[in-house]
Structure 1
């Protein structure tokens, strides 16, 4: 159990939270221990109260002999029993003898209203403190009927009456009105005195305290909540089901101001700069990684750290270096900006425990993040990244150990080192540079304002390839677009090749951190990564003579499976995330692994995707085959047949994240349109398999708030038909 954060309303130290959990009857008490999300109704409610109050200032009022609730909520809270179920005022009075010394203010809330946010609790406390009123209510503006009383106001805005639910006129139904949510903050002595006075008249309702205050001329303050989901009480099983939907939806709501937790996706940790992505979070995450290295006895080997061209990347890399140095962990700090695959290469090349790159890959320019690589250059699996993020999120500023960078450099625990030549040499040891020389290849390269121009430019120069670079300047805004090398963002590259009238043999592109590739053929046609993987798999097998299967993620073309079957080799499907691709390659001894989003690697190279290496390999393929990309594609289609892929994405709203999986579970699919469903795979998202290697996939992105839709079909028309069906399904 955690104590309250330090930045809370000033009155918190003299306030006690009284949580009413006795219930009106056995049925209502049973609902309190019913499952809600990952715990129970009462536990969710208390979790929100605990986020504001320390345990010693929380009193839970239970029914007589209710030990189950105590066992669930924790022994560190204060418990009292309501001897008789007389009403809410009587329940508050039962807490009198347990009030801590110095308690001046009482907040009253309910265990059966679990969706009240900690922010709203802070808000009502702050409003009570600042206005000086004796009583503050939590209110909400709603439309339609709610099981709450109404608040009526006069022309001057002051509260004139608070009605019980059964006192509300029927004309209110369907109309917009202000309700009394039922959470109160009051001067403790005055509240208890009012409860006692009303009890003498056999009135035990808290709302009567409010009415009495109004009648005596007291001005009542309100704090209004605007998320009406918070109003949801749980008094019936139907309301419990509604609450479950709200809890699920909240899991996916971006928390912009109050929740800056570090969360790893499929490609590292990424967040919007100034919100989740801050230098403070960079330090917390690095401290967690340093702790893991020390615990495992691998700290002496040290780490290698680099950054790309994004805003704050250099400052973040230096902040990371200070944390590792402060923990006595040696650091190799790569100067300037570097590609992600260079850091992937650097970890095993230098024998480091971890490689760390500050980047947000292909995300829009307002994002940044961090990728972590293990000693062998592979991405950590989920259990490892879960440990990193969970520990980092528990750390405070006081837990971070740093050493000033200038001191660390002078002491030699941080060493600046350039590895560009070593990385280029390692690629050229695998790529047949000599075969490309003399081929007279002429290419255009679009690094998309990213980090590939130095390394890729050096390799192409060594190959004697004539290369023209566009968008090569250092621009943290990436020209105002996300630096992803896909069809929609390579218009300049496509236009340049088309306008060259046969001058160029190829267009190459890499994303912001250079681990993805995009290709445009000599005619100015964008070549999908699905097709590129087919070409490279054929080339590695038939020209280079490298045998072995192929690994693809579940969003990548099934034509690879057809080509593998033609070769008599194995194809392996894995979850999205390149760590799963490299794990699959190791499992079957594959020669190639890739994903439709632009990432690939080959056996014998790094255990991560590399757009720079991929560009060099494509140049080698053209030189050694003597064929154009368009010619190679037609040749491969003769072997595999043709499948047509399409993809789209829509913003992944919280409602959608709840509704889409539920609809898929509730309505088992037998057809997509007129096409029969062969099987459905829920390994990663929902993949719907049709006849003849046709398929459709719905999957929520692990790196962006997007629902991705992928299809592959026998014809462009059928592919469009399948994609339209998916669009209709998710927006219905």
Structure 2
């Protein structure tokens, strides 16, 4: 039978040794204060009601910084760290405890796992004392205030600790790798306070002396080693505070694994690795948070519509979400089989549902899944709304989730299974000129990328009398081992089939894993960049279909759209990355087209979200009505707008880069990128540098992946590559 978890209390030393160190404790650090960060780490391991904070006489600053919920005791005189711990004796003994954790308020960079590891080691080794240690380089320069752990040399096995040598005891500079006593301890309360009292009788008040005494008495002392030396840094000077702020900021961008199951929305919904952040438990928690919003707003009668794509766990997740909404007395339309994301975007306003939800991770690799949430009008919620959903979901425990068994929910009609393919297809065919395509003789190959487009897009193409062949259309949750993104690198099979067709095919089409993005290959087997496709469709909508209005693009999309809009006398608008910003911008200026360079687009009068299936149908209509090939149309429009060439690259975004790159951009105002004068710099989303000659360069950290995205556009491929090389050099310098 497993033993009960030992009852733990903690002492946090926050009295400081002088006025400067005390004042630094309440300085801001990473959204909190120095002392707030240190105590916050302790309370991830020890219940706040069992934390005793030792403060200076008459202190109010630390108390105000931390607030209520802790026990505060005052150290009458600054006689040393051992005396400070002894001051907490009565408070700790009143709590009743099996073990005591001692930590310092001026070491706020320790992680909860380090303290947790220390406590585990203390208990599992049945130690009398356990200390936290770290092995570091450059000890004299950065860690001179820490004591050195001295071990006995042994031929094999763990070397026992025989002493902790203070800095004052060093007779020669410490060189090479040195093991340091970081200053966190775990001990039994009787031993801890008994030894500290005996030390005080001998006028010894240094906490480090505790280890020496325990070793001298033949008691057991063990250590837990931390490997991230950034945790070791204490804050006793303004310079150390500035360094700590950098470390805290950098940590915010480190992908956290294993214990981090937080739900975090990116630019297109919540996405996470399956089995890590993406779990059925998190699906249920997020569904409960959205169900709470439905209930607060009194929209239960409208219900929700839920679907899933072909990814691993999508069907199980859709059913789990349905059980949560049903458990909250909210009717559910559960879409049968796998469905495209745009069908759910359509279904929300079609059914007048409060929300549309689809389980998908779009174009991400197969080991990912996620959830997209759509408003009643089919638009994506903006950041303030998704922040509200994720914060509420993360605050919920699984015990807070209300569910109704799916079988019972179906029996009672709270969950209704339904297909909406036909209404969705009919709605597309009301906008697309199906009759104009019939008789055109178009023949296409469609790469479904193992996604969800075959049924709906196949029906539309058949209705148009387009002869269509599908590849990669079977259900394969591994997507052939690649991320299902319709870009040039992943469409080799499609390009090869068209090249080998000898003019047999009019074009190739591709949709991503959830069918909201499009990729096009022309009649010669050449991949058509999404930027060029947006240019073609804007020209077609404006000039052939006669639909007047401007265009909206995100800041990573070609400026040739602006040139074409100016040629038409129309407005163009640049927005942040995220299709929700594109559709919001379209509404503001009444744009006819909105799109992004990654292959997402929509048109006025259709969905408030991107739709690769609709886009494929619109391309077929464009070819049929103009009677021209993609390559011919593209050249004709370039004759109007001129050419711009884009170069892109992604590099892994280290935490240090996320701190240093924005700082350098802020501290060194750019006047030139290489030899090219800078006209303006925008910070609406990353940093976009616009040059006087019309070229531009963008640095933007991804919101969903640990990547720094770099994009450049210029009048020649060489200049675009030159700008991209400059960006790479800037971030790696």
TM-score by length of 2: 0.98
2:117 to 123, 136, 146: 123
What is the CA distance between 1:101 and its match in structure 2? 3.5
* Cα distance in 1, alignment partners of residues 69 and 702 from structure 2: 40
Corresponding residue of 1:586: 587
The residue matched to 1:116 in structure 2 has which SS?
coil
> Which range moves more in the overlay, 660-669 or 447-456?
660-669
Corresponding residue of 2:33: 40
The residue matched to 2:372 in structure 1 has which SS?
strand
The residue matched to 2:502 in structure 1 has which SS?
coil
Corresponding residue of 1:5: none
Corresponding residue of 1:25: 18
* Cα distance in 1, alignment partners of residues 95 and 46 from structure 2: 16
Answer whether contact 1:149 1:168 (CA < 8 A) is retained: no
Corresponding residue of 2:565: 564
Corresponding residue of 1:3: none
Distance 1:549-1:22 versus aligned 2 partners, 3 A rule: same
Corresponding residue of 1:443: 444
2:96 to 98, 102, 114: 102
1:181-580 equivalent positions in 2, closer than 5 A:
181-580=182-581
Corresponding residue of 2:166: 164
What is the CA distance between 1:10 and its match in structure 2? 4.9
Give deviations 1:401-456, integer Å, cap 9, x for gaps.
00000000000000000001111111011000000000100111001100001110
Give deviations 1:624-645, integer Å, cap 9, x for gaps.
0000000001100111111111
* Cα distance in 2, alignment partners of residues 322 and 556 from structure 1: 41
Answer whether contact 1:104 1:189 (CA < 8 A) is retained: no
* Cα distance in 1, alignment partners of residues 644 and 168 from structure 2: 64
The residue matched to 1:119 in structure 2 has which SS?
helix
Answer whether contact 1:265 1:702 (CA < 8 A) is retained: yes
Answer whether contact 1:288 1:388 (CA < 8 A) is retained: yes
1:53 to 40, 46, 50: 46
TM-score by length of 1: 0.98
* Cα distance in 2, alignment partners of residues 21 and 406 from structure 1: 57
Answer whether contact 2:48 2:70 (CA < 8 A) is retained: yes
RMSD: 1.1
* Cα distance in 1, alignment partners of residues 706 and 655 from structure 2: 9
Answer whether contact 1:90 1:204 (CA < 8 A) is retained: yes
* Cα distance in 2, alignment partners of residues 519 and 165 from structure 1: 68
Corresponding residue of 2:604: 603
Corresponding residue of 2:106: 112
Answer whether contact 1:137 1:184 (CA < 8 A) is retained: yes
What is the CA distance between 1:237 and its match in structure 2? 1.2
Matched, 1:144 2:144: no
Corresponding residue of 1:72: 65
* Cα distance in 2, alignment partners of residues 704 and 184 from structure 1: 37
After TM superposition, the runs of 4+ consecutive aligned structure 1 residues lying more than 6 A away are: none
Give deviations 1:29-53, integer Å, cap 9, x for gaps.
0110111111110011111111122
Corresponding residue of 2:55: 62
Corresponding residue of 2:662: 661
Count of residue pairs brought into register by the alignment: 723
The residue matched to 1:443 in structure 2 has which SS?
strand
* Cα distance in 2, alignment partners of residues 301 and 609 from structure 1: 24
* Cα distance in 2, alignment partners of residues 195 and 637 from structure 1: 82
The residue matched to 2:552 in structure 1 has which SS?
strand
* Cα distance in 1, alignment partners of residues 95 and 695 from structure 2: 70
Give deviations 1:545-599, integer Å, cap 9, x for gaps.
0000000011111110110011001001111100000000000000000000100
Answer whether contact 1:541 1:547 (CA < 8 A) is retained: yes
Structure 1, unaligned runs of 5 or more:
1-7
Matched, 1:707 2:705: no
Answer whether contact 2:50 2:95 (CA < 8 A) is retained: no
Answer whether contact 1:681 1:687 (CA < 8 A) is retained: yes
The residue matched to 1:306 in structure 2 has which SS?
strand
What is the CA distance between 1:219 and its match in structure 2? 2.2
> Which range moves more in the overlay, 272-281 or 158-167?
158-167
Corresponding residue of 1:154: 152
> Which range moves more in the overlay, 159-168 or 486-495?
159-168
* Cα distance in 1, alignment partners of residues 360 and 171 from structure 2: 59
* Cα distance in 1, alignment partners of residues 292 and 667 from structure 2: 45
The residue matched to 1:27 in structure 2 has which SS?
helix
* Cα distance in 1, alignment partners of residues 731 and 617 from structure 2: 40
Corresponding residue of 1:4: none
What is the CA distance between 1:169 and its match in structure 2? 4.9
Corresponding residue of 1:176: 177
* Cα distance in 2, alignment partners of residues 689 and 166 from structure 1: 57
* Cα distance in 1, alignment partners of residues 693 and 474 from structure 2: 46
What is the CA distance between 1:9 and its match in structure 2? 10
Answer whether contact 2:6 2:98 (CA < 8 A) is retained: no
The residue matched to 1:291 in structure 2 has which SS?
helix
Distance 1:492-1:204 versus aligned 2 partners, 3 A rule: same
What is the CA distance between 1:340 and its match in structure 2? 0.2
The residue matched to 1:46 in structure 2 has which SS?
helix
1:85 to 68, 78, 84: 78
Corresponding residue of 2:729: 728
The residue matched to 1:429 in structure 2 has which SS?
helix
The residue matched to 2:712 in structure 1 has which SS?
strand
Corresponding residue of 2:618: 617
* Cα distance in 2, alignment partners of residues 602 and 589 from structure 1: 10
Structure 2, unaligned runs of 5 or more:
none
* Cα distance in 1, alignment partners of residues 361 and 393 from structure 2: 19
Give deviations 1:287-343, integer Å, cap 9, x for gaps.
000000000111210000000000000000000000000000000000110000000
The residue matched to 2:337 in structure 1 has which SS?
coil
Answer whether contact 1:325 1:403 (CA < 8 A) is retained: yes
